[in-house]
Amino acid sequence: MSVEIRKLSVENVEALIEVARESWKWTYEGIYSDEYIENWIREKYSKEKLLNEITRSWSEPDLLFLGAFVDLKLAGFIEVKIKEDNAELLRLYLKPEYTHRKIGRDLLSEAEKIMKEKVVSECTLYVHSQNHVGISFYYKNGFTVKGIDGSDFLMIKKYE
């Protein structure tokens, strides 16, 4: 299995929507209904919005949008927004069959490498409080819970 982490390009948009849809269905099974997930994907992962974000990630250094390609096929992605010395991890999703193989860790590490170059001192994220896979992954990667916001935990990681 060869894994390559690189910036997403506009040609990846269809695959990106498919990865998001599959990952959302797996992650939020029993948390959100299928209908809710479909609506979310249609709205937040519309082709138009994603093309815009991918394009911005090439022109604006403060938006990181990276894909993990396994044997050249998109398996997952990470999106991070940097504001001065703070970063917010907006999205990190893998296709279910590619979870538990350290690909998420590699995506996060690559994003953190770039964050550190930009002298980011802390990264925050929101994760659903019932998303046990996500929460345990973030704990194992140095994040701690800082607070609760509705149904989400706010997690934080500080960098030297």
Which residues participate in catalysis according to the annotation? 138
By CB under 6 A, the residues from 23 to 52 that bind ligand COA are 23, 27
Nearest residue (CB) to ligand COA, 13 versus 103: 103
Nearest residue (CB) to ligand COA, 2 versus 59: 2
Neighbours of 90 (CB within 10 A): 15
Of 145, 137, 8, give the one whose Cα is nearest residue 68. Answer: 8
Nearest residue (CB) to ligand COA, 133 versus 145: 133
Q: Which two tokens stand for residue 59?
A: 């022109």
Q: Which two tokens stand for residue 122?
A: 């802390």
> What's the closest the beta carbon of residue 139 comes to ligand COA, in angstroms?
8
By CB under 6 A, the residues from 52 to 91 that bind ligand COA are 76
Q: Is residue 15 involved in binding ligand COA (CB under 6 A)?
A: no
Distance in angstroms (rounded) separating the CA atoms of residues 68 and 101: 12
Which of 127, 143, 153, 157 binds ligand COA (CB under 6 A)? It is 127
Q: Is residue 99 involved in binding ligand COA (CB under 6 A)?
A: yes
Of 126, 132, 125, 156, give the one whose Cα is nearest residue 142. Answer: 156
With a CB cutoff of 8 Å and minimum separation 6, the contacts of 60 are none
Of 128, 160, 126, give the one whose Cα is nearest residue 146. Answer: 126
- Nearest residue to the partner ligand COA, using Cβ: 104
Q: Is residue 111 involved in binding ligand COA (CB under 6 A)?
A: no
> What's the closest the beta carbon of residue 119 comes to ligand COA, in angstroms?
24
DSSP state of 8: -
